Amino acid sequence: MSKFQKASKEIAQFVNEVLFDWDVHQPLIDAKVKLDVCMAYGDQNDAGETEGVAIKRHGQRVLGLAKIIGLKDRAMGRGDAEIMLDGDWWEDATDEQKKALVDHELFHLRVKDMEQDDLGRPKLEMRLHDYEFGWFKAVAERHGENSIEQQQARLMMDTDGQFFWPEFEPAPAAVSKKK
């Protein structure tokens, strides 16, 4: 079972600095959104080696999660939102990797038209990912272009391919055959 602890002042400060790095987070700053930062750690065996995954979402390891804190917990003194970070990963990550992860988690949080809740705190909503993937390689191999896996890959490549995979050559344009 994962272990949790409040992030150190240094990590909370790091998150706060990333918040101020990008103009897109300005609505969170303007609304004075209070962030709780939590570190999660995987299980350790008797030798102190990590054996478990710190954070899972839909059964898969994730390195961070953002969530809006409910009204009752906010009334009890919690923040408006929580950023949970994989502490096992964090220890070995570069500052640039940490910044990218924190920016990703912060980007999930959106101020809802400067509305306030019953406590006078900003109302928040979650921004969804541009792309969500639930892939089975075996299905893609069996069904090829008819599989949702390959259809999603094609959509992403056609829409943003060279942005996400600059090392790949673009697929040749399809030639239209008129009858």
Is it the case that residue 157 has pLDDT exceeding 90?
Answer: no
Residue 42 region by backbone torsions, left for phi larger than 0, else alpha for psi between -120 and 50, else beta: beta
Query: Do 110 and 143 belong together in one domain?
Result: no
* List of E strands, 55-164: 56-57, 60-61, 64-68, 81-86, 109-116, 122-126
β-sheet bridge partners, residue 35: 81
Query: Do 50 and 137 belong together in one domain?
Result: no
Convert the pLDDT of each residue in 5-16 to its tens digit. 999 999 999 999
Q: How confident is the model at residue 112 (pLDDT cuts 50, 70, 90)?
A: very high
* DSSP for 3-70, written as a single string: EEEEPPHHHHHHHHHHHHH-GGGHHHHHTT--EEEEEEE--B-TTS-B-S-S-EETTEE-SEEEEEPP
* Structural domain total, the chain: 2
Output DSSP code: residue 147: S
CA distance 75 to 34: 13
Q: What is the mean pLDDT of the chain?
A: 89
Q: Return the CATH number at 78.
A: 3.30.2010
Q: Which domain holds residue 74?
A: 3-126
Convert the pLDDT of each residue in 119-150 to its tens digit. 999 999 999 998 887 888 999 999 999 998 88
Query: Is the pTM here over 0.85, yes or no?
Result: no
Q: How confident is the model at residue 19 (pLDDT cuts 50, 70, 90)?
A: very high
Query: Do 48 and 121 belong together in one domain?
Result: yes
Q: What is the pLDDT of residue 45?
A: 87
Is it the case that residue 174 has pLDDT exceeding 60?
Answer: no
Is it the case that residue 4 has pLDDT exceeding 80?
Answer: yes
Is it the case that residue 178 has pLDDT exceeding 50?
Answer: no
In a domain, 177, yes or no: no
